[in-house]
């Protein structure tokens, strides 16, 4: 959320300090979901993110997505027209292994140029 908020500040979509915007949750206006969720038999598998009130430790075999996203409403007159109706979300799916992790989506095209070339060939 820090990186997303920094970007929102650089673009002028948020004003003020990074710390205050994060503390007050101003970024949630543009980032409407968390940074990820479990994956399994269902796209949004349920699971206990906390056990006895404590964050659950990751275990080998768990798979989750990391998917930060930003969305600017098409009718949001409080932002410059050039930003309205824009949404972007990147996603990686990660498998927890005994020795660390494996990014299952590692081979996907990441750069703007690569995505444009892929789309042009489709």
For the stretch 65-83, pLDDT in tens is 898 889 999 999 999 999 9
- Which pLDDT band, with edges at 50, 70 and 90, does 112 fall under? confident
Closest CA to 69 of 18, 118, 3: 3
Q: With left for phi above 0 and alpha for psi between -120 and 50, is residue 81 left, alpha or beta?
A: alpha
Q: Kindly report the CA angle at 59 between 57 and 64, in degrees rounded to 5?
A: 90
What pTM did the predictor assign?
0.69
For the stretch 9-67, pLDDT in tens is 999 999 999 999 999 999 999 998 888 888 876 666 667 778 899 988 888 998 988 98
Domains of the chain plus CATH, in order, are 1-31 (no CATH), 33-121 (3.90.230.10)
CA 52 remoteness from chain centre: 27
Bridge partners of 55, per DSSP, are 50
Stated length of the chain: 122
> Residue written as tokens 């940074």?
35
């Amino acid at each position: 959320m820090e990186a997303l908020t920094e970007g929102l500040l650089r673009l002028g979509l948020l004003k003020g300090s990074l710390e205050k915007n994060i503390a007050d949750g101003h970024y949630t206006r543009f980032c409407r979901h968390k940074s990820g969720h479990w994956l399994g038999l269902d796209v949004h598998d349920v699971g206990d993110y906390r056990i006895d009130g404590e964050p659950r430790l990751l275990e080998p075999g768990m798979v989750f997505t990391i998917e930060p996203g930003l969305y600017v409403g098409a009718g949001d007159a409080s932002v410059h027209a050039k930003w309205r109706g824009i949404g972007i979300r990147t996603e990686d799916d990660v498998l927890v292994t005994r020795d660390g992790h494996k990014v299952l989506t590692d081979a996907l095209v990441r750069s703007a140029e690569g995505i444009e070339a892929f789309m042009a060939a489709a």
